[in-house]
Amino acid sequence: MTFIQKHAYGIGAAFASLLWPFFPKRRRIAVQNILKCRITDDEARAVRIAKKSWCHLAGHICEALCVPGVINKDNWREHLEFDEADPETVKLLLDTPDVPILLVSAHHGVWEAATNTLSFARPMIAVARVMNNRFVADWMKKHHFRGRITVINKNRGFSQATMRRWCNEKSAMTLLMDQHTSGGEMLTFLGRPARTYTTATRLAIRYGYPIVVGSFVRVAPYRYRLVGGAPVSFAKDADRAASTQLLNDRLSEVIRKYPEQYLWAHRRWRHD
């Protein structure tokens, strides 16, 4: 690895640490979220977790940008750990390429790096915010989201072409469940009221494909651990709200295990 690749995470985290004092609003939001979610009752510890999560975000983004130069089709399995994952989930995710799946996560762990790494196991469809700047978007496509990854704009919905591609290519459709929405169902996330997208649940009910719920967390440079339980499947007559709440609960459990890697500074909760 080059010097930049080896130290990418540390460089990003250090830069974020220097900027931390200049974002008082984000600091306040993060600390309040941590306390209200009862990650800790100690405000001093909440401040430490908030700062670590802020630095982790920057470190993860910098490391994720270097992933294509470090992880490849010959070594990708060496960069993943599964000791905290359910065996059926590992089998479904990595060794069952003939079944389309939904991969549901949150702004937790290493969602960007994981998408790149998992593309060596099966085609990926990432539902994400597409950069408005065309040059930045083109650069990301050529140098970041490489390999078998299709990025679809979350603001434009799911076209019939995307659904056909998902089914025909047996892809993993990846969605982040913890984004703020003015619509969706009013459920709870980490014990607090939060409007939640029901997209993953509706797709699982309609198509009958299983859902992998969890996160990849960073445990060392370019080494990521899958944390989560058994795959989830919903019947055709499943209750949409109750099923989506189950996904929220599963994600909440994972985040509580590794709170320093969650994006506490975003305004997920606007209704309490």
Listed in order, strand segments (DSSP E) in 94-209 are 101-105, 124-128, 149-153, 172-176, 185-189, 192-196
- 3-state secondary structure at position 48: helix
Question: pTM higher than 0.85 for the full model?
Answer: yes
Hey, what are 185's tokens? Answer: 């169902």
Instruction: Check residue 150 and report its DSSP letter.
Output: E
For the chain, the structural domain boundaries read 74-258
Distances (CA, A) of 18 to 12, 13, 15, 54: 10, 9, 5, 11
- Spell out the per-residue pLDDT of the chain, length 272, in tens: 899 999 999 999 999 999 999 999 999 999 999 999 999 999 999 999 999 999 999 999 999 999 989 999 999 999 999 999 999 999 999 998 899 999 999 999 999 899 889 999 999 998 766 555 455 455 455 545 556 788 877 766 678 888 999 999 999 999 999 987 878 899 999 999 999 999 999 999 999 999 999 999 999 999 999 999 999 999 999 999 999 999 999 999 999 999 999 999 988 887 66
Residues 6+ apart with CB under 8 A from 76: 117, 120, 121
Alpha-carbon distance of 197 to 166, in angstroms, equals 20
